[in-house]
């Protein structure tokens, strides 16, 4: 596992803990704004984990595909464009 994926995994483990905490907050009928704030925090960390995964993909898979040849490289570039398009919508 490369460094980017390790960073993403650490963030995702943190999010997992946040989600457990959010569920507990809801079960305890905590103040809605506090719950919402925690949800937004988890979403932000998920987005950062996604960036780490995409960074790792570009630095390894895409780079290797480009070095292998134009067709493989073009396929990987199209994949990244598709993901970025989903990300910004």
In the chain, where the domains are located: 3-88
pLDDT of residue 48: 95
Token reading at 62:
């895409």
Model confidence pTM above 0.75 = yes
Averaged pLDDT in 10-residue chunks for the chain of 89 residues = 91 98 98 98 96 91 84 86 86
Fold category of 3-88 in CATH:
Methane Monooxygenase Hydroxylase; Chain G, domain 1 (1.20.58)
Using an 8 Å Cβ cutoff, are 23 and 38 in contact?
no
pLDDT of residue 68: 86
The closest of 88, 8, 5, 3 to 48, measured between CA atoms, is 8
Long-range contacts of 68-74 (CB under 8 A, 24+ apart): none
pLDDT of residue 64: 86
Q: Say which DSSP state 84 is in.
A: H
């Amino acid at each position: 596992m490369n460094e980017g994926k390790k960073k993403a995994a650490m963030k995702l483990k943190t999010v997992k803990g946040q989600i457990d905490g959010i569920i507990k907050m809801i079960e305890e009928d905590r103040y809605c704004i506090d719950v919402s704030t925690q949800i937004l925090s988890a979403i932000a960390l998920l987005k950062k984990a996604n960036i780490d995964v995409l960074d790792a993909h570009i630095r390894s898979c895409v780079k290797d595909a480009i070095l292998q040849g134009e067709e493989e490289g073009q396929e990987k570039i199209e994949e990244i464009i598709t993901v970025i398009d989903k990300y910004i919508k």
